[in-house]
Structure 1
Amino acid sequence: MCRRSEVISLRDDPSGESLESWIIRLRREFHKYPELSFKEYETQKRILKILGELGIEGRKIADTGVLASIRGTMSGPCIALRTDTDGLQVQEEPAERNREYISRTEGVMHACGHDGHMAMLFGAARMFMENREFPGEVRLIFQPAEEIPPGGSERVIAEGGLEGVDAIIGMHIFTNHESGSVGFRPGPFMASTNRFEVILKGKGGHISLPAKCIDPVRMAVDFINSLNSALEERLDKEKYVLGVGRIQGGAQFNRTPDNVGILGSYRTFDSETTDIIDATIKECLEKIKQEYLKHGEEFSGLPDYELDILHGYPVLVNDPFFTEAVNLKLHESFPELTVYPEIEKTFAAEDFASYLQVVPGVFISLGTRNQKKGIVEINHSCAFDIDEEILLKGSEIFHTLSLDFLKHPEKYLSLQKYHGPQEYIEKT
């Protein structure tokens, strides 16, 4: 997928722009024009244009995503590098720092670092195009719709994005650790995300006649309280988080509404915990229904409820063998880098988890917190920003780890997943 004769000069850019400045410029261009999930059409055009300038042929995937490959001069394995491309429905807050690159799209913002992720991946691509003396293939995945379940990763996989891929690396910018440091952990790293939606059905009427009504507002309060109490009894607090993001019902101060809707989410690190929460939600709803049945007053079919549970992204599980090799290589190649090889698990969720269910790999957290620069806002904040000094380092990490994997896959793959160089010769 590479056009070797059209590769631009990299380090010796005739404009005098350094690689780092180029990466920062790309990040700012992406930041200015964010698009929502599965609507990243202009972003897709920009990605294809930049790939073309690098001499890399890209193709569309998952509607608004892009897939591309850089092949070395020798046969070998294939490693995928993935970035996400979508923004969030957030109105960016103006500041002195971001005035040159603040979002030009009303109500949409790159508030989670995806602009930086794309720029870092392009930086790594330039490094590989500068020196093609490596074995195998680097697969570039510019994935849409990370922000909304079921996520763009499922589409990429279904459309063949991982065909022939032996391993995968992803990276995410976070403000929960200092700028330029990296963190990861073997095994479960990020939580599954699950959504529940409940409609509690009561009997509306005048608020002065409660005996003639079934109050769904009180049902909602009782349900939330009973659910939290039941889960606290059944599960350790470190195994899950659950919260309600919306309660909706009623329109008038003196009328009991007919229905109340509840929308919430919970995060877990294993399927057993998810199953317990699923069952507890249903049990609490059934208990509330029974408690609100009227004696002596007949309301046909009421009270009642509807429940919809959506299991979104699975638990993100880093391959332990691969992760340990990454840890050793980072210490070897970046001795100045602060590395947290056992960083705490996070209840944040990522659809990169789906890739790791197919091929081994690692998801790395790249810190961007910089108190001196005022870059302290958490991801998804309207004031979120990136310490742009980390972007080149992110590109170097992508390049160094993937190049080492291509040359020494046996260091990264367990015996069950690695069968020697002949495997890659036969593939090509």
Structure 2
Amino acid sequence: MRNDPISEDLEAWIIRLRREFHQYPELSFEEYETQKRILKTLEELGIEARKIADTGVLASIRGTMPGPCIALRTDTDGLQVQEELTERNRDYISRNNGVMHACGHDGHMAMLFGASRLFLENRDFPGEVRLIFQPAEEIPPGGSERVIAEGGLEGVDAVMGMHIFTNHESGSVGFRPGPFMASTNRFEVIFEGKGGHISKPESCIDPVRMATDFISSLYPALEKQLEPDKYVLGIGRIQGGAQFNRTPDSVGILGSYRTFDSETTDVIDLTIKECLERIKEKYVKPGEEFAGLPDYELDILHGYPVLVNDPAFTDAVNLKLQESFPELTIYPEIEKTFAAEDFASYLQVVPGIFISLGTRNQEKGIVEINHSCTFDIDEDILLTGTEIFYTISLDFLKHPEKYLNFQKYNGPQKYPEKA
């Protein structure tokens, strides 16, 4: 990289950074080289920074006057995906075999650097811009909890994040007040039966049948209680047995479900347990050889919480975007999505917003969904995202009362001089 990055055209610089990050993706909590690249770029820009959450980076840009603090967050990890060569990515395809930035995190980092440059070029603002380069968004419980635990949000009044998606057209933005993205929940069941020769079913308790009965009973039990737009549930793995003529001793099921509220999560938790108890009772057989069987082990892991955009903050963002970007297509009531994001954890601590930035461009052939091995970004949107980061943050720093409901928000509101 050049020693004077501010002298380079902003958009060209952002695109170059995105492509550099894209070529060297790293998995969650393994982003050591990514961290080095981030720290090096921040040093070249003259921005103070420190490591956080092992492979993350926390940095600050302070204005010339006291004022509030807004945190801007980007994720930094890639996915375990082998990128395929296309007509577009020839110059920047991943050089790390089996790892790919298939979810836009390379673009998120580049946009955050772009916003940083704009703040450096216009230092006449109050308060502080906190830059969070967060690792491990892709694996629950996510890197956000580590960032919070290590003080990443101390003194922060609001937080903002953005994600590139192909579910709406390039350059458009979408968000909604209140619940926006779903919670993630993982469940694993191990059915314990009694193995034996398949020709003697009376001497066995078949965990394969227990597993299939459980699956076939769980779906209708949930459908009787919940509307289909309240949740999704799926089985990702069924595992057990070793040969064709033996009933196995155990079978495992691994699945997940997503919801938009804790009440729905509680219903699913309870329904899973009730179905398991009924299956257990159904397969009980008399006799000492079956003592303690059948049985099951259930493990439920509640991952990312529901992502809830602060209503007052979101309304203020909508008004500012309408005012500052009249040419931009804005979806202020975009549909909720069953995608999940550990940015939700930040929004449980301070008010803020998470924005979806569209990248779908049929003419350029950019239509593959996130996590695809041919996912790509319409790089024209990177400057748009940069300017949104900057415009909203600057407006918040100058007019926090427009964004925060001070009657409900009890966070830091006194703005001392920054050292």
Picking from 192, 207, 217, the partner of 1:201 is: 192
Q: Hey, what does 1:127 align to over in structure 2?
A: 118
1:336 aligned partner, one-letter code: E
Q: Do residues 349 (structure 1) and 350 (structure 2) align?
A: no
Q: Hey, what does 1:270 align to over in structure 2?
A: 261
1:214-234 residue CA offsets vs partner (Å, 9 max, x unmatched): 111111110011110100001
1:61 aligned partner, one-letter code: I
| 420 and 287 in structure 1: CA distance in 2 versus 1, 3 angstrom threshold | closer
User: Any stretches of 5+ residues in structure 1 without a counterpart?
Assistant: 1-6
Q: Is the 8 A contact 1:410 1:420 kept in 2?
A: no
Q: Is the 8 A contact 1:201 1:216 kept in 2?
A: yes
Q: Do residues 312 (structure 1) and 284 (structure 2) align?
A: no
Residues of 2 paired with 1:194 and 1:295: CA distance?
36
| 253 and 329 in structure 1: CA distance in 2 versus 1, 3 angstrom threshold | same
Q: Do residues 61 (structure 1) and 52 (structure 2) align?
A: yes
Percent of aligned positions that are identical: 84
Q: Is the 8 A contact 1:74 1:135 kept in 2?
A: yes
Shift of residue 99, structure 1, vs aligned partner: 1.1
Q: Hey, what does 2:10 align to over in structure 1?
A: 19
Picking from 233, 237, 240, the partner of 2:231 is: 240
Q: Is the 8 A contact 2:65 2:126 kept in 1?
A: yes
Q: Hey, what does 1:39 align to over in structure 2?
A: 30
Residues of 1 paired with 2:314 and 2:81: CA distance?
34
User: Any stretches of 5+ residues in structure 2 without a counterpart?
Assistant: none
Q: Is the 8 A contact 2:156 2:412 kept in 1?
A: no
Picking from 369, 378, 382, the partner of 2:360 is: 369
Q: Do residues 229 (structure 1) and 220 (structure 2) align?
A: yes
2:334 is paired with a residue whose SS is coil
2:251 is paired with a residue whose SS is strand
1:365-420 residue CA offsets vs partner (Å, 9 max, x unmatched): 00000011111111111111111110011000000000000001011011325799
1:42 is paired with a residue whose SS is helix
Q: Hey, what does 1:4 align to over in structure 2?
A: none
Residues of 1 paired with 2:413 and 2:216: CA distance?
60
Aligned-residue RMSD, C-alpha: 1.6
Q: Hey, what does 1:3 align to over in structure 2?
A: none
Q: Is the 8 A contact 2:350 2:411 kept in 1?
A: no
2:105 aligned partner, one-letter code: H
Q: Do residues 85 (structure 1) and 85 (structure 2) align?
A: no
Q: Hey, what does 2:106 align to over in structure 1?
A: 115
Moved runs in structure 1, 4+ residues, more than 3 A? 295-298, 417-422, 425-428
Shift of residue 44, structure 1, vs aligned partner: 0.2
Number of residue pairs aligned between Structure 1 and Structure 2: 417
1:214 is paired with a residue whose SS is coil
Residues of 1 paired with 2:329 and 2:238: CA distance?
43
Residues of 1 paired with 2:53 and 2:5: CA distance?
31
2:354 aligned partner, one-letter code: F
1:120 aligned partner, one-letter code: M
1:183 aligned partner, one-letter code: G
Residues of 2 paired with 1:71 and 1:56: CA distance?
9
Superposed, 1:24-423 pairs within 5 Å as 24-295=15-286, 298-416=289-407, 423=414
Q: Is the 8 A contact 1:410 1:418 kept in 2?
A: no
2:415 is paired with a residue whose SS is helix
Residues of 1 paired with 2:45 and 2:33: CA distance?
19
1:162-191 residue CA offsets vs partner (Å, 9 max, x unmatched): 000000100000000000000000000000
1:310 aligned partner, one-letter code: L
1:44 aligned partner, one-letter code: Q
Q: Is the 8 A contact 2:71 2:132 kept in 1?
A: yes
Shift of residue 425, structure 1, vs aligned partner: 3.5
1:185-240 residue CA offsets vs partner (Å, 9 max, x unmatched): 00000000000000001111111111111111111110011110100001111100
